[in-house]
Amino acid sequence: MVLAPLPDSGPPGLAVAPEPYPQPLLNPSLDNPTSFPNLEPSENPLRRLLVPGEEWEFEVTAFYRGRQVFQQTISCPGGLRLVGSEVADRTLPGWPITLPDPGASLTDKGVMSYVRHVLSRLGGGLALWRAGQQLWAQRLGQCHTYWAVSEELLPNSGNGPDGEVPKDKEGGVLDLGPFIVDLITFTEGSGRSPRYTLWFCVGEPWPQDQPWTKRLVMVKVVPTCLRALVELARAGGASSLENTVELHISNSHPLSLTSDQYKAYLKDLVEDMDFQGPGEA
């Protein structure tokens, strides 16, 4: 409190405060911080696809001679390893996924013997992990493995594989950048649905121009967040997303997005992408 000088005529010893200075009127929206409009652009929720620490969820399905014998959905920030034995080396990176013994699902003893031989040659496993905006694969055993990005329901056996999984170094098997670009084109109604399903032919050459059901071990790996992005685009016929739909990315809560929001987030994601190698993420 500021005390004014004593008036000459006032009683001695008393200090009289002056009239308070008038205060400017405050805007009610400024008095309450919660009502202040958010002037910053909202964070793109799709950007979590590129966050290295974000867990991706994978659906893994195994087939022996065309028969489905295994399916598991797993979230693993360090990636996964397909192994053929419970006693596989757990000191290696990636969550081990043990492929089942064929005796539980096959009756042909000859086929069972061949499948067991393939599984025994997996050794440290077939590793698959995400770094930056790419998925990488490497084989840690003696079992040659060929891969292709194909449709979710069936592998593209009419053509050759996209490549062989290398043994002594990592090899890129899926780039999120082209996937998002193709998804934007598909959403606008001028392109086909982007492919996101990885198929691995383990222990044998890729079934080019042959029925894939004749191969001993085929494994399908689906990143569930990429499947969700494509299903969201298909929800309204790709080019006519009229309703608000929900999108699940990894283990996050569902996101409610309109068509315009979804397209804007996709385009922003492409602009924000940087191309990183496996050691740079």
pLDDT in tens, 127-155: 999 988 899 999 999 999 999 999 899 99
Q: Return the CATH number of the domain spanning residue range 58-220.
A: 2.60.200.10
Residue 156: its pLDDT value, please? 83
Query: Helix crossing, 259-272 with 176-187: angle to 10°?
Result: 150
CB atoms within 10 A of CB 66: 12
Confidence of residue 3 (pLDDT cuts 50, 70, 90): low
Tell me which DSSP letter residue 258 carries: -
pLDDT tens string 19-29: 444 443 333 33
Between CA 252 and CA 241 the distance in angstroms is 22
Lowest-confidence range among 131-140, 155-164, 245-254? 245-254
Confidence at residue 111, expressed as pLDDT on a 0 to 100 scale = 95
Average pLDDT over residues 114-120: 96
- Cα gap 164→173, rounded to integer Å: 9
Q: What confidence score (pLDDT) does residue 43 get?
A: 80
Q: What does the domain layout of the chain look like in residue ranges?
A: 58-220
pLDDT given for residue 63 in this prediction: 98
To the question of pTM greater than 0.85 for the whole model, the response is no
Query: Residue 250's pLDDT is what?
Result: 58
What's the CA gap between 224 and 70, in Å, rounded? 17
42-72 pLDDT, tens per residue?
Answer: 688 888 777 766 778 999 999 999 999 999 9
Query: Is the Cα dihedral 272, 43, 230, 79 positive or negative?
Result: positive
The residue type found at 146 is Y
Spatial distance between the Cα atoms of 247 and 254, rounded to a whole number of angstroms: 5
**Mean pLDDT score across all residues of the chain:** 79
Q: At what angle do helices 224-234 and 176-187 cross, to 10 degrees?
A: 10
Percent of the chain with pLDDT over 70: 73
Residue 207 has pLDDT above 50, yes or no: yes
